[in-house]
Chains A and B, each alone.
Chain A
Amino acid sequence: MASIDLDKMLAKIKSTQWALSDIDWDAPGAELITEEQWPKLKEFMADLMWIEHVGARAFAALAKKAPTDTLREIYSYFHAEEQRHANAEMALMRRWGMLEGDEIPEPNVNLRIIIEWLDRFADEMPVYVLGTVVPMLEIALDGALCTFLLETVKDPVCHQAFEKINDDESRHLGVGFTVMEMQGRSASYIKMVQMMARVMDPRLILGIASYMPLLNKMRDNVIAMGLPEEKLYKAMQKFERIGGRTEEGRRNPWFQLIKQHGRWVTNRSNKVYHVPVDALVKITGMVPRKALPAVPSWVKELTYEPTATR
């Protein structure tokens, strides 16, 4: 598969927009959620919603940094689309009676930490880093979790919403991999050295330190929901498969790095990786919520209402 034409992609994105009001959130089917499912689903949805936000915030950073006008515009659409996914997921939660009043659901602490990191540092990260990490997160978390959701939840409205969300996601991935290949094309020894210098950047180390336990934590969540963890790993291997399908893609040093990391995550017998990272998950799990800084104000933009007058 050759790289896609980004100008055509932008036109396609613009012509295939959807809105919350395209879906009837009161249609029958909500009762198909079983009582046993409900509490786990609630936690799952809350996390999912926040994962959309991780993608959203990363796209927001890319929208400022991308090398061309077209890419910048594409990313500003993707940023908004991730917000739309979160809004739609919140509307589902409301439909299933999982929201108390107007409250925005709480994310798990690992997600909170990564959002905090993104909000502080994403704008300063090089396009290369974000451009590679984002497809991985999207494939692993967004992709795997959504498929899983559709396998376990019978509510037709949920299926309707995720059909639209998945259409968006396939475009996010298409662009993500194309950009990785573009970067690989221009990869060189100098880039490699620059990259290594970047890895030493304490801000990036902080980011890595939040990214690693996030993946393990999501794996735990997935297992708690009754999904075989292999599904998550399969999704992550898809990153390796698609990202490495061309010479250019393979030449992207960031791809190599993330791919290698993905291999560690999916290999449970790699104790050197999993013992300390699982410990990190435990530790962060003990961080009291109050110790975290206030959520950034963009979080308050979330809404499950298809229309707004204020």
Chain B
Amino acid sequence: MSTTEDSKKMAKPKAPRKKAAAACKTTARRKTAARKKAPEKPQSVLIVGAGFAGLGMAIRLKQAGIEDFIILERGNAVGGTWRDNQYPGAACDIPSNLYSYSFAPNPNWSRSFSGSEEILDYVHHLVAEFGLEKHIRFEQNVAELRFDETKGIWTATTDKDVVFTGRAAVMAQGPLANCSFPAITGIEDFKGKKIHSARWDHDYDFSGKNVAVVGTGASGIQIIPELVKVAKHVKVFQRTPGWVMPRPDFSTPEWNKLLFRKVPASQQAMRELLYWSHESMALAVIWNSPLTRIAERIGKWHLRRQVKDRWLRRQLTPDFTIGCKRVLVSNDYYPALQKDNAKLITWPIARISEEGIRTVEGIEHQVDCIVFATGFDVSHSGTPFPVLGRGGRVMGDDWKGGAQAYKSINVSGYPNLFLTFGPNSGPGHNSALVYMESQLEYALKGIRKIVGEDLKVLDVREDAQQRFNKGIQKRLAKTNWNSGCKSWYLTEDGFNATMYPGFATQYAAQMSEFKEEDYQTA
């Protein structure tokens, strides 16, 4: 899999989806060849990535009257997560009315939890409605961002040595955009078909096939019920069982869509309702509270109701506090596992062989295809490509001991740069886009200041950043994520650079204020 394999077509609002996925392995390397000169005068803003974050930033810039910006996107279509995750059953697990932008509501969601295709349609609709197409440069894989202090300019260089410049830069390359096959011994020996959930192969026909699914996280539990419907036999390889909650999924009746279209305030009210109900979940998910026990009881009830066999239930019972890892939602995962043509395997994997997967109980499970729903490459202490700030300092080096930022969005020493989904911005219980909106507003304030006051440097002060992080880590220590279980939220040493320890409302409050005294300007 590589970027060159992807279709060369420019993205139309309806690009052919199966070909649109970007490369699975994506660490772009800059060639040493002489750089091309920056073609135009610097943009006001450079945005890296055309997913929800990058496009949302673009919309807010336009709405604020800033037109000279470009979006650099390594793929050949927009949509990020939702362009790449087109596996069968892919859907959001936060209700669509909340998992969308409040500044671009969609009255037509067909279900409470929309599928990947519908979400991608919404993204395409955003691009068309706000005229973003002309701002996007496709197939530009950013390999380096570098700040020139004297000019106050950010330069993005792609892996093909194309250069773009801007006065401010927004990193929106996605928290879960890179994936790779797991490093299981023997994976190269396997002669059958290998598919990663985030790079689905729509041409592969599963009917009549014996299939293995490795991984039972958010993607795995969505794929498995769909595969069980078509494949001859599905073996599910689980390492740790997660908490699975029932999912209140309904199709939206026509009158409801009509109501949302005619009375937008009614949709706003619905969004508020969903927002507050998710906020209340923070009490169960983020901190260990009586509500945590109640949530766990709901999870256990769901399991008991759907799984009658004592041993299978034991295999599926999580042994960590709910919320410590992402909470899963599904109504059809447990039933699918109990179909005649499905089987849950909890033996550790010893290796992959030519014909299948060998587990420690000594048996080789032979399959035609292995689906890896093993998640994403997340870095807690590095950046996906080198980012060079004042005096040539490298963000990856500054982050050796764990990523740190000010309010998740600025990093001291890297002026005029705004991160989306930066350190400690992760939502455990609410829509990522709710968090995103406050980040976009904040970035907009900063960008307006840079452009409006013609600043070369808007840099957060080191001491302000340190003060902020002291507070955050103190609050994190009291959360379920730091309660002793391993998850992708934590570094190997257990440092949490991912999650925000509080309500979305608190996060929004944190982001609503732009404290000028915390910044140094020039």
Total interface residues on A, CB under 8 Å, equals 30
B481 to chain A: closest CB distance in Å? 16
| Those of B336-359 within 8 Å (CB) of chain A | 343, 347-348, 350-351, 355-356, 358-359
- Asked if B366 and A80 sit within 8 Å, CB to CB, the answer is no
Interface residues of A in 72-86 (CB under 8 A from B): 73, 76-77, 80-81, 83-84
B309 within 8 A of A: yes
Is residue B167 within 8 Å, beta carbon to beta carbon, of the partner chain?
A: no
Q: Which of A12-20, A171-179, A215-223, A280-288 forms part of the interface with chain B?
A: A12-20
Cβ distance B116 to chain A, nearest Cβ, rounded Å:
31
Sorting the interface of chain B by its residue count into under 10, 10 to 19, 20 to 34 or 35 or more gives 20 to 34
Nearest Cβ on chain A to B308's Cβ, whole angstroms: 10
A305 and B364 CA atoms in complex are apart in Å by 9
Which residue of chain A has its CB nearest to the CB of B363? A308
Q: Given A84-B360, A308-B364, do A297 and B350 touch, yes or no (CB 8 Å)?
A: no
Residue of B343, B362, B367 near A18 (CB, 8 A) is B362
Q: How far is the CB of B351 from chain A (nearest CB, A)?
A: 7
Contacts of A80 in B (CB 8 A): 347-348, 359-361
Contact of A296 among B311, B343, B348, B358 (CB under 8 A): B311
Taken together as a complex, chains A and B put the C-alpha atoms of A306 and B365 apart, in Å, by: 9
A87 at the interface (CB under 8 A from B): yes
Picked from B314, B361, B364, B367, the residue with its CB within 8 Å of the CB of A21 is B364
A310 and B343 contact, Cβ closer than 8 Å, known pairs A20-B363, A76-B348 = yes
Cβ contacts A85-113/B at 8 Å (1 or 0 each):
00110000000000000000000000000
Is B249 interfacial (CB-CB < 8 Å)?
A: no
* Complex: A84 Cα to B359 Cα, angstroms: 9
- Across-interface contacts of B362 in A (CB, < 8 A): 18-20, 83-84, 87-88, 306
B309 engages A297 (CB within 8 Å): yes
Q: In the complex, A306 Cα to B359 Cα: how many Å?
A: 11
Query: Residue of A at shortest CB range from B361?
Result: A83
Could you tell me if A77 and B348 are in contact, using CB atoms closer than 8 angstroms? yes
CB contacts (< 8 Å) of B233 on chain A: these are 309-310
B188 within 8 A of A: no
**B370 shortest CB reach to chain A, Å:** 14
Say yes or no: is A159 at the interface (Cβ < 8 Å to chain B): no
Report which of A298, A301, A307 forms a contact with B355, defined as CB distance below 8 A. Answer: A307
> Complex: how many Å from CA A309 to CA B192?
14
Q: Does B486 contact A (CB under 8 A)?
A: yes
A123 partner, pick from B314, B343, B365, beta carbons under 8 A: B314
B412 to nearest A CB, angstroms?
35
By the criterion CB–CB under 8 Å, are B360 and A298 in contact? no
Query: Please, which residues of chain A bring their CB within 8 A of the CB of B410?
Result: none
Chain A interface, DSSP helix/strand/loop, else mixed: helix
A76 contacts across to B, CB distance below 8 A:
348
Q: Which residues of the partner chain B approach A210 to less than 8 Å between Cβ atoms?
A: none
- Nearest CB to that of B314 among chain A residues? A123
Contact A307 B310 (CB under 8 A): no
Q: Across the interface, which residues of A come within 8 angstroms of B358, CB to CB?
A: 17, 19
Across the interface, which residues of B come within 8 angstroms of A119, CB to CB? 310
| Chain B contacts for A308, CB-based, 8 A | 363-366
Q: Any chain A CB within 8 A of the CB of B272? A: no
Give A20-74 interface residues, CB cut-off 8 Å to B. Answer: 20-21, 64, 69, 73
Smallest beta-carbon distance B28→chain A, Å: 33
Chain B contacts of A88 at CB under 8 A? 362
Residues of B within 8 A of A20 (CB): 362-364
Interface flag for B68 (CB, 8 Å): no
Q: Decide yes or no whether B319 CB sits under 8 A from chain A.
A: yes
Q: State in angstroms the CA–CA spacing of A76 and B361 once bound together.
A: 11
Q: Are B363 and A297 touching (Cβ within 8 A)? A: no
Task: Write out the residue numbers on chain B whose beta carbons fall within 8 Å of the beta carbon of A64.
Answer: 319
**Is A298 a contact of B366 with CB atoms below 8 Å?**
no
Among residues of B, the one whose C-beta sits closest to the C-beta of A22 is B362
Q: Which of B210, B343, B360, B366 contacts A81 (CB 8 A)?
A: B360
Q: How far is the CA of A309 from the CA of B319 in the complex (A)?
A: 30
Kindly list chain A residues whose C-beta atoms are within 8 Å of the C-beta of B359. Answer: 80
A132 at the interface (CB under 8 A from B): no
Contacts of B365 in A (CB 8 A): 307-309
Q: Is B162 close to A, CB under 8 A?
A: no
Question: B366 contacts A309, CB within 8 Å?
Answer: yes
A81 proximity list for chain B (CB < 8 A): 360-361
In the complex, chain B residues whose CB is within 8 Å of the CB of A19: 350, 358, 362-364
Contact B311 A87 (CB under 8 A): no
A303 within 8 A of B: yes
Q: Verify A17–B363 contact, CB threshold 8 A.
A: no
Best-surrounded residue of A64, A119, A303, A307 (most CB of chain B within 10 A):
A307
User: In the assembled complex, which residues on chain A have CB atoms less than 8 Å from the CB atom of B364?
Assistant: 19-21, 306-308
Nearest Cβ on chain A to B296's Cβ, whole angstroms: 15
Distance A177 CA – B358 CA, assembled complex (angstroms): 29
Complex CA distance for A18 and B350, rounded to whole angstroms: 8
Question: With A17-B351, A19-B350, A80-B348 in contact, is A305–B311 under 8 Å at CB?
Answer: no
Within the assembled complex, what's the spacing in Å between the Cα atoms of A28 and B248? 61
B195 at the interface (CB under 8 A from A): no
- List of B residues within 8 angstroms of A123 by Cβ: 314
What are the residues of chain B within 8 A of A69 when measuring CB–CB? 486
User: Is B312 close to A, CB under 8 A?
Assistant: yes
List CB contacts (< 8 Å) of B483-504 with chain A. 486
Is B348 touching A87 in the complex (CB atoms < 8 A)?
Answer: no
| Residues on the A chain within 8 Å of B310, using CB | 119, 296-297
How many angstroms from the CA of A109 to the CA of B26 in the assembled complex?
59
Known: A69-B486, A80-B359, A83-B361. A307 touches B366 (CB 8 A): yes
- Please, how many angstroms separate the alpha-carbon atoms of A90 and B309 in the complex? 25
**Which residues 260-319 of B sit at the A interface, judged by CB distance below 8 A?**
309-312, 314, 319
Pairwise interchain contact B348-A84, C-beta atoms closer than 8 A: no
Measured between C-beta atoms, what is the minimum distance from A148 to chain B in Å?
Answer: 23
Chain B, range 452-477, C-beta contacts under 8 Å to A: none
A309 touches B361 (CB 8 A): no
Interfacial chain B residues near A77, Cβ < 8 Å:
348, 360
A303 vs B364: C-alpha distance in the bound complex, in angstroms? 11
B366 CB contacts on chain A under 8 angstroms: 307-309
Q: Please name 5 further chain A to chain B contacts, defined as beta carbons within 8 Å, in addition to the given A20-B362, A83-B347, A88-B362, sorted by A numbering.
A: A19-B350, A20-B363, A73-B348, A123-B314, A296-B311
30 contacts between A and B (CB under 8 A): A19-B358, A19-B363, A20-B362, A20-B363, A73-B348, A77-B348, A80-B361, A83-B347, A83-B360, A83-B361, A83-B362, A84-B361, A84-B362, A87-B361, A88-B362, A296-B311, A297-B310, A297-B311, A297-B312, A301-B361, A303-B363, A307-B355, A307-B365, A307-B366, A308-B365, A309-B210, A309-B233, A309-B367, A310-B233, A310-B343
Chain A residues with CB under 8 Å of chain B are 14, 17-21, 64, 69, 73, 76-77, 80-81, 83-84, 87-88, 119, 123, 296-298, 301, 303, 305-310
Nearest 5 CB-CB pairings of A with B? A80-B360, A84-B362, A17-B350, A83-B361, A80-B347
